[in-house]
Amino acid sequence: MTQRILPFLVILLAFGTHAVWAQTTPIKGTVVEEGTFSPIPNAVISLADGAVLTSSDAQGSFTINVKAGVSLKVRALGYTDKTVPAANGMRVILVSETSELDEVVVVGFGTQKKSNVTGAIAQVKAKDIENMSLLRVEQALQGRTAGVQVTQNSGQPGAGSVVRIRGTASINGSDPLYVVDGVVIGGGIDYLNPNDIETIEVLKDAASAAIYGARGANGVIIVTTKSGKGASGQMNVSVSAYQGIQNPWRKVSVLDATEYATLQNEMAAAAGQSIPYADPRSFGAGTDWQDAVFNRNAPVQSIDVSMSQSSKDGSYFASVGRFRQEGIIAPSRSNFERITARLNTTNKVHQAITVGMSTAFTHNTSQSVAENTEFGSPLGRALNMDPITPVYETNPLALSGAPYTVNGVLRPNLVRDQGGIYAISNRVTSEVVNPLAALLTNTNVGWSDKIVHQSYANVDLGGGFSARTSMGIDLAFYGGNGFIPSYYLNATNFLDTNLVTQSFNRAFSWMWDNTVSYTKDFGAHHIDAVAGHSAQAVNGSYIGGSKRDVPTDDFGFATISYARNAESERVYGGKWERYAIESYFGRVNYDYDDRYLATVILRADASSRFGPNFRWGYFPSISTGWNLHKESWWSSKLISSMKIRAGYGMSGNDAAGSLEYAATISGGRNYSFGYNEFMQNGTSPSQIANPDLRWERVGQANLGADLRWGKYLYTNLDLYHRATYDMKTRPVLPDYVGNDAPTANVGQMRNMGIDFERATSATSARPRASAWAAT
């Protein structure tokens, strides 16, 4: 029986093997991009059940062994997945998931497709800055956004940046308005960790900034921080760290000791005097004071850790970070440290209700030295100090005489440290002193703690309507401690009694926004509208003082309360400020078939900072756009998309003191009268009231064009004209009036310009391309 079955099995296996070879044949194909037909490398080819077969090479080619006609799934990063039947010589065309023009930008109280934006709005995304070592968020805009100027006026570690959008709009302040996750931030955005940023939008023209009304005259910078993303339920952990060093770019060429002594001899001989130095070469190179004050290889360090997770019911993003930088001058007296923490969450509590929160905490500490003065800064002193004087005076004979002693006794307030007594020059005097000694005569330490929080709820009302309420707070504490010990640098630079200063500031604001949104399509017509109310209150306080002659020259123990002399040696001061803003606003975006675009905005603001006759200001804007490439007659192959934009709007500037409109009375008006003519303390009017003080108004017209050349090259061109009306200033009154003039709206300012930007980017279809931008 077995002998009969065995031949049958052999024949059956042979037929089975032949059938398998007949079903699986080599299939070759390529994966390309829609439109450009550029090859897509690293595209994954798999069966319908998910079993991976292979991936495409650098030319987009692949080879597999499957039965002809079997379903294949092709996917690549940045493209929509596609299922196709297997066929030899097949070409799989993948469609990009999101094109540059279909991206969404934040426009204030909402978002909008970039292709339908009618205002002048620029965007910087996280991927644009992820490989940059940034100290501050503002640096992400430098050179990346046309019309935005970012300058750093100080070389101090942690020093702030000055941001100007399309130049200066007013003499009363030209800083842009900062909005972080919907919260208006006072005092800048230096508290943010650059690694927490998702996007930065810059509203440059009044047509887009009018939604922020009275505070949008100088442009608006909207920052959106990261949220939980990724596959549902998967936790993502990211660690980013870097270490760098900083060195001065170059030194200023100055004379060494031999050259200095030779020049002094030549000057004396030319004046008919005896030469002061018999052998200039004996001094050698002397002291290089620039090398002495520079901190070579000053370290800069950063480490950030973040976690995020998302699911159908919610998401979270959490991060902590630390940044530290030493200055390139005097490391122990010039440094900056920032510690940050953030938690962003969203939670879908109901099918129609989503709640969320965003909380950020930042602690900064800094120590700084004097700068930007001819003789008062370390570098200024290093350039003017003579190279013959050593850093420390080690000659016992020199230390036994002037200027180190008085009546044969060493001065108690000579500047010294573990290296010895710092040398005093007898060749240069007055303002020029030993720069290293001078660094020890002034200690300035600053600190700040800041908490920014927002809680919100979104409700889907159905029928295209939705509602949102959000409450945000911005709480900051900051201050500084300064100490000047008693010292002796030379005959004109000395202090016999030390001085300690301390200051403490508190700033708090809350903001409550309520909006209702509506979006609806009517055939080819699309409407997106929002209306809302906003209220904000701001208050701040300051207290500070100074004290002379505390019984210690140790900064760590010197405080104002640590006193040993008369109360009159203490000086105290303080102030407080508060104001409130209430606003109503609305915006309607309309487009027809994504071709014809229009946006209308109206905002009304009231502020307690202005006179009772003009507390309300009204700020309208209108802008239009036309996507020419959407027209049926468009046939250009060179320009793949083109949009032209035009708009005009009004915005405001509320840069004013809380009581500039009010009449004020000042003290210190002392006068002697009476029988004995004693000096009497008094008060008198100091400023005339102006109940008509009102907002500064800025009108701006903008004409722009956005073009895409082929697939990867983009250019944006904007022409603008901006005029400021009712600019606040204080006219000059004759002295016989007896009072200062009231602040009045009497100034005007105009500026105009051109913004031009071009950019290209790399994609998975162009792996060797580099991303670049020029403005």
Pair 194, 137: CB distance under 8 Å = yes
3-state helix, strand, coil in the chain (%, to 5): 15, 50, 35
Residue 48 in 3-state DSSP? coil
Say which residues have a Cβ less than 8 Å from residue 99's Cβ, sequence separation at least 6. none
Q: What is the pLDDT of residue 529?
A: 96
Task: Quickly tell me which residue has 């309420």 as its tokens.
Answer: 469
Which bin fits 338, alpha (ψ -120 to 50), beta or left (φ > 0)? beta
Q: What is the pLDDT of residue 760?
A: 75
Backbone phi, psi, residue 138, to 5°: -60, -30
* Length, in residues, of the chain: 775
**CA nearest to 534, candidates 109, 105, 186:** 109
Residue 396 in 3-state DSSP? helix
DSSP 51: -
> Which tens digits make up the pLDDT trace of 287-314?
999 999 998 899 999 999 999 998 888 9
> Which tens digits make up the pLDDT trace of 707-731?
988 777 889 999 999 999 998 888 8
- 384 vs 658, more confident: 384
- Does residue 258 surpass a pLDDT of 50? yes
Per residue, what are the HEC states of 238-306?
EEEEEEEEECCCCCCCCCCHHHHHHHHHHHHHHCCCCCCCCCHHHHCCCCCHHHHHECCCEEEEEEEEE
pLDDT band at 230 (very low <50, low <70, confident <90, very high): low
- Does residue 648 surpass a pLDDT of 70? yes
Rounded CA-CA distance 114/98 in Å is 11
Q: Which of 62-76, 528-542, 574-588 has the lowest mean pLDDT?
A: 62-76
Q: What is the pLDDT of residue 99?
A: 53
Gyration radius of the chain over CA positions: 35
> Which tens digits make up the pLDDT trace of 455-494?
999 999 999 999 999 999 999 999 999 999 999 999 999 9
- Does residue 775 surpass a pLDDT of 60? no
**pTM (2 decimals)?**
0.81
Rounded CA-CA distance 150/367 in Å is 23
Q: What is the pLDDT of residue 532?
A: 96
> Which tens digits make up the pLDDT trace of 89-103?
999 988 775 555 557
Q: What is the pLDDT of residue 90?
A: 92
DSSP 441: T
DSSP 169: -
Q: Tell me the two tokens of residue 348.
A: 């879908």
- CA distances 406 to 257, 263, 400, 490, 666, Å, are 29, 32, 9, 13, 47
Mean pLDDT of the chain: 86
Rounded CA-CA distance 2/464 in Å is 77
Pair 463, 386: CB distance under 8 Å = no
- Does residue 143 surpass a pLDDT of 60? yes
The CA-based dihedral angle spanning residues 140, 191, 131, 41, taken in that order and rounded to the nearest 10 degrees: -90
pLDDT band at 548 (very low <50, low <70, confident <90, very high): confident
Task: Quickly tell me which residue has 């709480």 as its tokens.
Answer: 475
Q: What is the pLDDT of residue 451?
A: 96
Q: What is the pLDDT of residue 620?
A: 95
Rounded CA-CA distance 739/741 in Å is 6
- Does residue 737 surpass a pLDDT of 50? yes
Q: What is the pLDDT of residue 431?
A: 85
**Buried b vs exposed e over 291-309: b needs ≥16 C-beta within 10 Å?**
ebbbbeebebebebebebb
Task: Quickly tell me which residue has 């909008």 as its tokens.
Answer: 112
- Does residue 454 surpass a pLDDT of 80? yes
Q: Tell me the two tokens of residue 84.
A: 């196709």
**CA nearest to 218, candidates 724, 763, 740, 738:** 724
Q: Which of 15-19, 24-28, 75-79, 445-449 has the lowest mean pLDDT?
A: 15-19
> Which tens digits make up the pLDDT trace of 405-442?
998 899 999 999 999 999 999 888 888 999 999 999 99
Strand partners, 477: 449, 506
- Does residue 658 surpass a pLDDT of 80? no
Domains identified in the chain and CATH numbers: 2-94 (2.60.40.1120), 100-225 (2.170.130.10), 249-293 (no CATH)
pLDDT band at 171 (very low <50, low <70, confident <90, very high): confident
> Which tens digits make up the pLDDT trace of 350-384?
989 999 999 999 999 999 888 767 678 899 999 99
Pair 251, 290: CB distance under 8 Å = yes
Please report which helix (H) or strand (E) contains residue 437, including its range: helix 435-439
Q: What is the pLDDT of residue 102?
A: 59
- Does residue 705 surpass a pLDDT of 80? yes
- Does residue 14 surpass a pLDDT of 50? no
Say which residues have a Cβ less than 8 Å from residue 185's Cβ, sequence separation at least 6. 178, 179, 452, 474
